[in-house]
Structure 1
Amino acid sequence: MKQTSRTRAAWIAVSAALLGLSAPLTTSVSASAAGPSARSSLDWTKCEGSGLDPRQECASVEVPMDYAEPGGRKIAIVISRIPSEKPAARRGALLLIPGGPGGSSLGDPSGKGQKLPQKVRNAYDLIGFAPRGLAPSTPVNCGLDHGDLALSKLRPWPAPDGSISENMATARRTAAACARNGGDLIRHITTVDEARDIDRVRAALGERRLSAWGVSYGTYVGAVYSQLFPRRTDRVVLDSNDNPDPTRVSRAWLEGYETGVEDVFPEFAKWASAPGNPDRLARTAAEVRPLFLRLAARLDRAPIPWPGANPAELNGNVLRQTMLDSLYTPDRFPTLAKLMLAARHGTVPPAPAAPPEPVLQNVTAVSAATLCNDVAWPTSAAEYRKGVAESRKEHPLTAGMPRNAMVCTAWPYPPTQAPVRITAHGPSNVLLVQNARDVATPLRGALKLRQAFGARAVMVIVDSTGHDAYLANGNACGDRVVSRFLATGERPGEDVRCG
């Protein structure tokens, strides 16, 4: 159950790299029904690891590896909690659903959970978990070659000339390694399995209903859980929302980067051209985009050696990957600017610190398994070549990556169940919060989830830039709406915009 701050950072970095939404306002659950009287069957012990709140404790929940054979092999789901800070005001449990796929929220009760207002921390036990396949839950590993763990390799960037031959070869090699080394568990890591695990966690906690705060991929998990177990949900907040298109699922998320980058890059350009910025790249915002494109093309032709990095050179795709990562939050804008400034002079900054390789291996395996087991991907190279060519022409910043072939192209296991279609059937207890400019889960896709939920949901659109809105990259107006809903159940009667 050990989780250091470095490990938590690795979960975030790698899962983000692999990818990464009116009736009565409250449900009928009363404080007494879901509150202090809830009986937990769990054996809580002190969590291992550094940087954790001393109140945080951990336990393990046993679940079936294969829900089609509930009496078969069992695996462990490790969970954490910080109990309600005011038992008399306790309403129930608030599950913190991580992003990814491949993210963990095991440390979140000690981390972002402590940013929640006091009334919310009084009302709920804060619950985190490591989803199936992620250590310290029963882990899975594909045993990939070190080079295939490079972030610029995990996202399918085409060759400088638009060729995808290397991407197809990487997909075959990676999928074969997962089949060879992933064991039986690799076939049973899906969003539906995670939703079913969550309901086992709810039952083990002794809760009749569960509140949740899901972020990024966690919004899709939360939506699927709300669809499969609608009467087991209390107050549900979905933050930075995935497109729930049941015909495409993760393919739609990958393609969303085209829109997301176009939404956010102008904000980077304004920042990077501002007078007084020590990392200023240009005199005007209009100059930044062509500067980036010229620099990426130059690095395609003449990479710069980068000792200690993976790969050990700064090429055009490494710059593009850095751009994508840096647009997740304005706080990362300087990372991209500093790299561009160095590259213009033919130099590189110190190589970024790499997460421990066992963490990279574990997170990559869980992410690949989820993306590929959820929905079948096309296997035809011709289809990807066509999509990449169109994407490169329409969206040169992302260079065709969002429509390219990744590991799922060669995944050896067909999906065992159809993706869940999100519908308006169920209690009206969902609040969506969404930044207007989000590189990973753009507003255009988030509106698809809002449409799918119908009268079950209300959406708060926040006029801010960055991935993760509530208590992160949003604004005070959006934060107030979400906090009020979690603490009191009060929800806007219709969709609102927070300027």
Structure 2
Amino acid sequence: MSMTSRKAPAPVLALAACAAGVVATLAATPAAQAAPAAAAKPPALAWAPCADAPTRECADLSVPLDYRDPKGRSVSLAVSRLRSDRPEARRGTLLLIPGGPGGSGRDWLGRVGERLREETRGVYDIVSFDPRGVGGSTRADCGLDRGDLEITKIRPWPAPGGDISGSIAAARRVAESCARVGGALIRSFSTANEARDIDRIRQALGERKLSAWGVSYGTYVGSVYAQKYPDRVDRLVLDSSLDPDPSRVGRGWTANIAVATEDRFPDFARWAADPARDARHRVAERPEDVRPSVLALAERLDRVPERGPDGTQQLTGNRLRARLQMALYDDKAFPALAELIVSARAAGEAAPPAAEPAYGSPEEAATLLGVLCNDVRWPRSPASYERAVAVDRLRYPLTAGMPANVMPCAFWKNDTAEKPVRITDEGPSNILMVQNLRDPATPHSGALRMRESLGERARMVSVDSGGHGAYLRRGNACGDRIVTAFLTTGERPERDVLCR
């Protein structure tokens, strides 16, 4: 693999303004919380073999529900550890910070722990955790019904033609349900609190500093932790970074899905037009014909009702679009997506094959909404979302306005929200970023804004690959080698690097 270099970017660049009339003015930034009171040092973790994985250890850690009241109600965090198999080489703890919001760190450790320990030659005990709200930690619930948990509703897609009246009604209903059912736990979900939870984990581990590898949303958590506690970070890897713009945060991440999908789609188009594909998987004769074919199919499926006469789920245009967006996360999902497109197209005007939609779990949905909606205020005016969706549909037809659509955050109730942390270049120069050029969820353009914010604190490795997640995921020897060297030796490239 070839490797080329370029100079590190300037610390801060002004962001281009959006088209006039598209973006509504943000409501006033929420007032900062009162400074959290100091909490007593947590006891050491009581490790025991994990019930589902005896080679790893599990423990529970109690943390304050509200850090302004450290002696009040607490919640439990599920923590797991894979010990170094070379104690003589151990230099500390490497914390895996999961994505989401709402991803399980313990599950992630189960998938990558053994390989990561081998890759880093036992230099670390590898630890991860389930954030508050999910997995083995204190679980959240918004009381949502199954329909609200469908993937086309959690990330709301406008109706055919762009109408968002149904999305507005659903967003209002979900916000009210989260406030009523979720209560104080949902109100406690925020990036700032997850950073505080991580510091409690550090203390319970008895570590003066932590190294960390954050992926996707975990990059924002990791950067906030490094900003709040710069002297407690050893080596930090940010993999598939989010735009840290403090005025938008989760709203900006969602909006960026539109350009990210456009960045990534050509990879699928080349795959689906490859002459080596069989008839079940070849969508078009040429890569440039795949896109119009998919768009035409989605428009035809917009006329299909969500359920057939017998009540079974049917493949609608939005369900196809949602499956497309999710399939772009990994090349391994391309065959199933192509087969779905080919079979649905072959059905002509007949009812397409039934398609069971994807659902999120109740706790993941509640945690996702809690963090996105608590971190920053969202515009309140439905008309602002209508305008934004109309423009987004024209600009990015593959996502049909979904990234600009109204979410429950527009009707969210939380008077305890904190002012988002601004990521800056103040702090140790101990951060390495790694980023695919064509990421369908966290686009390279957004990662560049994280890079600009961090300035000389960071170096960035861009990987000429598609998909979500870069390190140990894409088989790029150049990128993997640089990240591993940083974790094991602390060495970083002198300049930002492009790995081809």
After TM superposition, the structure 1 = structure 2 runs for residues 150-169 of structure 1, keeping only pairs within 5 Å, are: 150-169=150-169
Counterpart code for 1:450: R
Which residue in 2 is equivalent to 1:448?
449
Question: Deviation of residue 304 (structure 1)?
Answer: 7.3
* C-alpha contact (below 8 Å) 1:66/1:72 kept by paired residues: yes
Question: Deviation of residue 333 (structure 1)?
Answer: 1.3
Aligned mates of 1:287, 1:415 — CA distance in 2: 51
419-428 or 108-117: bigger deviation: 108-117
Question: Deviation of residue 258 (structure 1)?
Answer: 1.4
Question: Deviation of residue 118 (structure 1)?
Answer: 2.5
Which residue in 2 is equivalent to 1:483?
484
Sort the Cα spacing of 1:348 and 1:338 in 2 relative to 1 into closer, same or farther, 3 A. farther
The Cα offsets for residues 143-167 of structure 1, whole Å up to 9 and x where unpaired, read as 1011111101111211101111001
Secondary structure, counterpart of 1:241 in structure 2: coil
Aligned mates of 1:40, 1:308 — CA distance in 2: 57
Aligned mates of 1:435, 1:298 — CA distance in 2: 33
* C-alpha contact (below 8 Å) 1:373/1:414 kept by paired residues: no
Counterpart code for 1:437: R
The Cα offsets for residues 199-256 of structure 1, whole Å up to 9 and x where unpaired, read as 0000000000000000000000000001011100001001001000100001111111
After TM superposition, the structure 1 = structure 2 runs for residues 370-409 of structure 1, keeping only pairs within 5 Å, are: 370-409=371-410
Question: Deviation of residue 341 (structure 1)?
Answer: 1.2
Question: Deviation of residue 342 (structure 1)?
Answer: 1.7
Question: Deviation of residue 306 (structure 1)?
Answer: 7.0
Sort the Cα spacing of 1:367 and 1:396 in 2 relative to 1 into closer, same or farther, 3 A. same
Counterpart code for 1:436: L
Question: Deviation of residue 126 (structure 1)?
Answer: 0.7
The structure richer in helix per residue is 1
The Cα offsets for residues 60-114 of structure 1, whole Å up to 9 and x where unpaired, read as 1111100111111111111000111111110110001101001011133332122
1:240 aligns with 2:240: yes
Which residue in 1 is equivalent to 2:45?
42
1:144 aligns with 2:147: no
* C-alpha contact (below 8 Å) 2:314/2:355 kept by paired residues: no
* C-alpha contact (below 8 Å) 1:86/1:122 kept by paired residues: yes
Which residue in 2 is equivalent to 1:332?
333
Which residue in 2 is equivalent to 1:275?
275
Which residue in 2 is equivalent to 1:289?
291
Give TM-score scaled by structure 2 length. 0.88
Note the residue ranges of structure 1 that are not aligned, 5 or more in a row. 1-21, 23-38
Aligned mates of 1:175, 1:350 — CA distance in 2: 31
Question: Deviation of residue 473 (structure 1)?
Answer: 2.3
Aligned mates of 2:427, 2:444 — CA distance in 1: 24
400-409 or 116-125: bigger deviation: 116-125
Note the residue ranges of structure 2 that are not aligned, 5 or more in a row. 1-7, 9-41
- What root-mean-square deviation, in Å, do the aligned CA atoms of Structure 1 and Structure 2 show? 1.9
Corresponding pairs, count: 455
Which residue in 1 is equivalent to 2:321?
320
317-326 or 414-423: bigger deviation: 414-423
Q: Which runs of 4+ in 1 moved over 2 A?
A: 107-110, 302-309, 345-355
* C-alpha contact (below 8 Å) 2:142/2:181 kept by paired residues: yes
Which residue in 1 is equivalent to 2:438?
437
Counterpart code for 1:158: P
Which residue in 2 is equivalent to 1:204?
204
Aligned mates of 2:305, 2:73 — CA distance in 1: 49
Sort the Cα spacing of 1:480 and 1:285 in 2 relative to 1 into closer, same or farther, 3 A. same
Aligned mates of 1:325, 1:307 — CA distance in 2: 28
* C-alpha contact (below 8 Å) 2:313/2:354 kept by paired residues: no
Counterpart code for 1:199: D
Counterpart code for 2:295: L
Give TM-score scaled by structure 1 length. 0.88
The Cα offsets for residues 323-349 of structure 1, whole Å up to 9 and x where unpaired, read as 100111111112221111121123656
Counterpart code for 1:282: A
Counterpart code for 1:421: R
Which residue in 2 is equivalent to 1:214?
214
